[in-house]
């Protein structure tokens, strides 16, 4: 479709002939980039368009088929007026109040900063022209996208307003332009709609900051153990470990910790519900927020796991590794001895690799099912099966991968430098806690009351006596 639209926009336009068109005239105040682009798109979709402007001379930039009038004249020709003017110029509308009475004013403006003004632009507009019906819309669409037809980012247009009929009229236009209107309620939602295009991955902020902090901590931890310690005590220069060896320690650690942090809030919530004996009290705010960014946490964990895989697979090509292997073989040959195969080592090495491969494979599956178009094609039972059952299996496999990797080095004193344990040991703390608590919660003596609580049962029904009565008696 984008192909078709691209062609559409670059070649001859399919203008709707004037004769049979039954669409209502739309007025646009403001002939800037956005006003012109919107007008252009509307004419394409068969709307007669008039522009309202201070200067009524038609410029070459005004889309063909549109006429330019004074603000007052243009407003009289249409029931819907799109205000494609910046907020600081809104006061030119005050003298027009009488003409605008009963008209639908569409606020398309955006700000430069989040919460720049105390009230949203749309609410400000409604205060300035109290007789008009203000609808907020189109602010999430860019002029460039409208003109070029390459709507690669969102096709969704958030719409809000206090007047239902006015909102319906605007949503019909949105649909006619090939976009998807999303009703966000009354004009109170305008503030959020205006903030939306200014957001930069708000749900990702916490996971990314957390992982940056953990990365920094583990970087210096590994630097001390693996580069500074050998330099101080053995006078060896392993500074090049910074490029691959240390990142390949940090990545699996972060992947494992972040994956465990995806499942930790779930077990915390279960404990809180069991302790309170009801599900009808809100969780603490931090837990609520944590639960809402679990998907993002999981995807950041997957990113670290992918980097770990790449860093690991590249190992045999590293010149340091080739040097180490060849010097080991040469010394074997010179000492005239051949080592026999150590079956235990072969078992340990192969099984930790196999666990890692299977864990990563399931992790990628989880990532794929979190793609919007995939998750949109599964029902709730399937979604929960993948995200919960497969998720815990992934966590178990990845934890086992790390445990077997450690092998019998846990107790060896040589792995403690400056009394610091190997970094991967630290990474095992959170996942082991999550798995142990989850294992305990599966026992029937805890699982049964938890299930009942989640179905609406309350131990001390103090918070919602009537509703509980209703639930148990007549309704679900």
Site residues (CB under 8 A) for a copy of itself, limited to 25-54: 29-35, 44-46, 53-54
What minimum distance in Å lies between the beta carbon of 224 and a copy of itself? 19
* Residues 61/67/68/69 CA torsion (nearest 10 deg): 180
- Four-residue CA torsion sign, 101, 103, 104, 109: negative
By C-beta, is 231 or 416 nearer to a copy of itself? 231
Is the backbone of residue 384 left (phi > 0), alpha (psi -120 to 50) or beta?
Answer: alpha
**Which member of 184, 394, 422, 427 binds a copy of itself (CB under 8 A)?**
184
Based on the shown chain and the rule CB under 8 A, indicate whether residue 163 belongs to the binding site for a copy of itself: yes
Based on the shown chain and the rule CB under 8 A, indicate whether residue 258 belongs to the binding site for a copy of itself: no
**Which member of 310, 429, 440, 442 binds a copy of itself (CB under 8 A)?**
310
**Which member of 25, 215, 375, 415 binds a copy of itself (CB under 8 A)?**
375
**Which member of 209, 212, 354, 440 binds a copy of itself (CB under 8 A)?**
354
**Which member of 102, 130, 382, 409 binds a copy of itself (CB under 8 A)?**
382
Give Cβ neighbours of residue 287 (< 8 Å, ≥ 6 apart). 265, 268, 269, 272
By C-beta, is 384 or 436 nearer to a copy of itself? 384
Please check whether residue 302 is in contact with residue 364, taking contact to mean a CB–CB distance below 8 angstroms: yes
Based on the shown chain and the rule CB under 8 A, indicate whether residue 474 belongs to the binding site for a copy of itself: yes
Q: Give the C-alpha separation, 401 to 358, whole Å.
A: 9
What minimum distance in Å lies between the beta carbon of 433 and a copy of itself? 26
What minimum distance in Å lies between the beta carbon of 193 and a copy of itself? 7
By C-beta, is 255 or 430 nearer to a copy of itself? 255
Q: How many amino acids of this chain bind a copy of itself (CB under 8 A)? A: 169
Interface stretch with a copy of itself, choices 218-226, 392-400, 430-438, 456-464 (CB under 8 A): 456-464
Which residues 192-211 are close enough to bind a copy of itself by CB under 8 A?
A: 192-193, 196-203
What minimum distance in Å lies between the beta carbon of 73 and a copy of itself? 15
Interface stretch with a copy of itself, choices 21-29, 121-129, 211-219, 394-402 (CB under 8 A): 21-29
Based on the shown chain and the rule CB under 8 A, indicate whether residue 388 belongs to the binding site for a copy of itself: no
Distances (CA, A) of 131 to 83, 123, 166, 302, 465: 15, 13, 13, 54, 46
Interface stretch with a copy of itself, choices 315-323, 390-398, 411-419, 439-447 (CB under 8 A): 315-323
What minimum distance in Å lies between the beta carbon of 261 and a copy of itself? 18
**Which member of 22, 275, 414, 445 binds a copy of itself (CB under 8 A)?**
22
By C-beta, is 32 or 277 nearer to a copy of itself? 32
Buried b / exposed e across 121-157, counting CB within 10 Å, b at 16+?
A: bbbbbbebbeebbbbbbbbbbbbebbbbbebeeeeeb
CB atoms within 10 A of CB 37: 20
**Which member of 124, 206, 219, 385 binds a copy of itself (CB under 8 A)?**
385
Interface stretch with a copy of itself, choices 183-191, 214-222, 422-430, 443-451 (CB under 8 A): 183-191
What minimum distance in Å lies between the beta carbon of 52 and a copy of itself? 9
**Which member of 94, 102, 212, 350 binds a copy of itself (CB under 8 A)?**
350
Which residues 222-241 are close enough to bind a copy of itself by CB under 8 A?
A: 237, 239-240
Question: What's the burial of 441, exposed, middle or buried (CB within 10 Å: 0-12/13-18/19+)?
Answer: middle
Which residues 395-414 are close enough to bind a copy of itself by CB under 8 A?
A: none
**Which member of 38, 93, 189, 398 binds a copy of itself (CB under 8 A)?**
189
Distances (CA, A) of 429 to 253, 297, 396, 460: 11, 18, 13, 35
Token code pair at residue 309: 């895989």
Report the length, in residues, of the chain.
Answer: 476
> Which x/- pattern over 423-452 shows residues binding a copy of itself (rule: CB under 8 A)?
------------------------------
Which residues 102-161 are close enough to bind a copy of itself by CB under 8 A?
A: 133, 140, 142, 145, 148, 150, 152-156, 158, 160
Which residues 76-105 are close enough to bind a copy of itself by CB under 8 A?
A: 84-86, 89, 92
- The strands making up 180-183's β-sheet, listed across from edge to edge, are 67-69, 49-52, 26-29, 80-83, 104-107, 133-136, 156-161, 180-183
């Amino acid at each position: 479709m984008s192909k078709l639209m691209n062609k559409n926009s670059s070649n001859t336009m399919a203008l709707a002939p004037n004769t049979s068109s039954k669409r209502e005239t739309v007025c646009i105040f403001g002939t800037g980039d956005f006003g012109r682009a919107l007008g252009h798109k509307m004419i394409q979709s068969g709307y007669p368009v008039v522009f309202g402007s201070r200067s009524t001379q038609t410029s070459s930039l005004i889309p063909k088929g549109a006429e330019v009038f004074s603000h007052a004249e243009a407003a009289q020709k249409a029931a819907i007026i799109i205000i494609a003017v910046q907020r600081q110029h809104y006061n030119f509308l005050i003298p027009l109040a009488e003409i605008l009475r009963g008209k639908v004013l569409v606020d398309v403006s955006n700000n430069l900063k989040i919460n720049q003004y105390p009230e949203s632009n749309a609410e400000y507009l409604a205060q300035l022209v109290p007789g008009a019906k203000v609808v907020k819309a189109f602010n999430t669409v860019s002029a460039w996208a409208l003109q070029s037809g390459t709507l690669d980012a969102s096709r969704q247009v958030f719409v809000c307003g206090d007047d239902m009929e006015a909102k319906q009229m605007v949503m019909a236009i949105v649909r006619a332009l090939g976009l998807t209107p999303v009703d966000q309620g009354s004009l109170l939602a305008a503030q959020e709609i205006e903030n939306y295009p200014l957001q930069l991955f708000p749900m990702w902020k916490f996971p990314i900051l957390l992982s940056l902090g953990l990365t920094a901590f583990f970087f210096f931890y590994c630097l001390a153990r693996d580069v500074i310690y050998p330099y101080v005590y053995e006078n060896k220069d392993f500074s090049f470990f910074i490029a691959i060896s240390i990142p390949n320690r940090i990545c699996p650690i972060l992947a494992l910790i972040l994956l465990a942090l995806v499942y930790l809030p779930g077990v915390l919530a279960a404990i809180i519900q069991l302790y309170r004996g009801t599900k009808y009290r809100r969780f603490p705010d931090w837990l609520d927020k944590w639960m809402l960014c679990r998907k993002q946490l999981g995807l950041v964990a997957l990113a670290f796991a992918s980097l770990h895989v790449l860093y690991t697979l590249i190992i045999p090509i590293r010149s340091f590794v080739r040097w180490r292997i060849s010097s080991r073989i040469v010394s074997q040959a010179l000492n005239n001895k051949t080592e026999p195969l150590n079956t235990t080592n072969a078992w340990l090495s192969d099984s930790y690799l196999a666990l890692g491969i299977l864990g990563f494979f399931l992790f990628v599956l989880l990532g794929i099912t979190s793609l919007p178009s995939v998750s949109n094609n599964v029902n709730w039972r399937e979604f929960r099966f993948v995200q919960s059952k497969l998720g815990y299996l992934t966590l178990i496999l990845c934890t086992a991968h790390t445990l077997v990797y450690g092998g019998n080095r846990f107790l060896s004193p040589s792995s403690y430098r400056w009394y610091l344990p190997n970094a991967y040991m630290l990474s095992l703390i959170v996942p082991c806690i999550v798995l142990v608590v989850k294992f305990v919660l599966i026992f029937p003596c805890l699982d049964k009351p938890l299930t009942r609580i989640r179905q609406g049962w309350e131990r001390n029904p103090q918070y919602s006596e009537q509703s509980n009565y209703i639930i148990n008696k007549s309704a679900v």
